[in-house]
Amino acid sequence: MNNTPYVAREPDADGFIHYPQAEHEVWHTLISRQLKVVEGRACQEYLDGIEQLGLPLERIPQLGELNRVLEQATGWRVVRVPALIPFQTFFALLASKQFPVATFIRRPEELDYLQEPDLFHEVFGHCPLLTNPWFAEFTHTYGKLGLQASKEERVYLARLYWMTIEFGLVDTAQGRRIYGGGILSSPKETLYSLSDQPEHQAFDPLDAMRTPYRIDILQPLYFVLPELKRLFELAHEDIMGLVQQAMRLGLHAPKFPPKAA
């Protein structure tokens, strides 16, 4: 799991991370481009979060700056982690209202797609919605459940996370919008997800848990929430009961070709 060329940057004694100018420039390119693309496509709660966080355009934000806003809004914090972390660590952090951020940013030659979640994906994709109490509550509950779950149950929980927090869409009075961080941090997927190319399906947590996915392709299917508050309601339902049911029923047929050997 650790074969990544990226290494998370270490903070100094004061907790300040010194990024080279070239990395600030990558951040500037990514955020300037993506702010234009998400306009009219991201859900309002996400855009409100972007405004609250006040992300700088010219430089990579420090985690402490984000924490001042998040702690006040929902009691969440972001914490620095290495490039990839084990499931156990991931769930433990979410269960304690801490969102992991790997402190490295993609290289210029990988601007459009990076397999491992970098600082831009985590901060731009996920942090804005952590200012929203509904989204924050679901993420917190998800962490607590994952911490207690068996290895097999976690695989079903991971599919639920993928189909919501990473690649979820939501219906709004203004039309269909994006809230998933995996989409919102990708210019290509932002445009593609709302086009008529992929399939859109009304959100059903049981179906989401039974739907296979691949991380290295544009998603063939997106689940659509009736409203963002549905996540808050789901946090108070018997998610592990649904996991058991999904395990009994088994997986749906994949909507994508097998990976080439």
Give the residue-averaged pLDDT of 47-51: 98
Structure token pair of residue 246: 């999904």
Residue 121 annotated as binding site:
yes
Which domains occur in the chain, in start order? Answer: 21-249 (1.10.800.10)
Residue 140 annotated as binding site:
no
Rg of the chain in Å (alpha carbons): 18
Amino acid at 75: G
Residues acting as catalytic residues: 121, 126, 166, 185
Place of tokens 């270490």: 10
Axis-axis angle for helices 87-95, 151-161 (nearest 10): 60
Average model confidence (pLDDT) across the chain:
96
Residue 126 annotated as binding site:
yes
At residue 1 the predicted structure's pLDDT band, cuts being 50, 70 and 90, is very low
pLDDT tens for 177-192 read 999 999 999 999 999 9
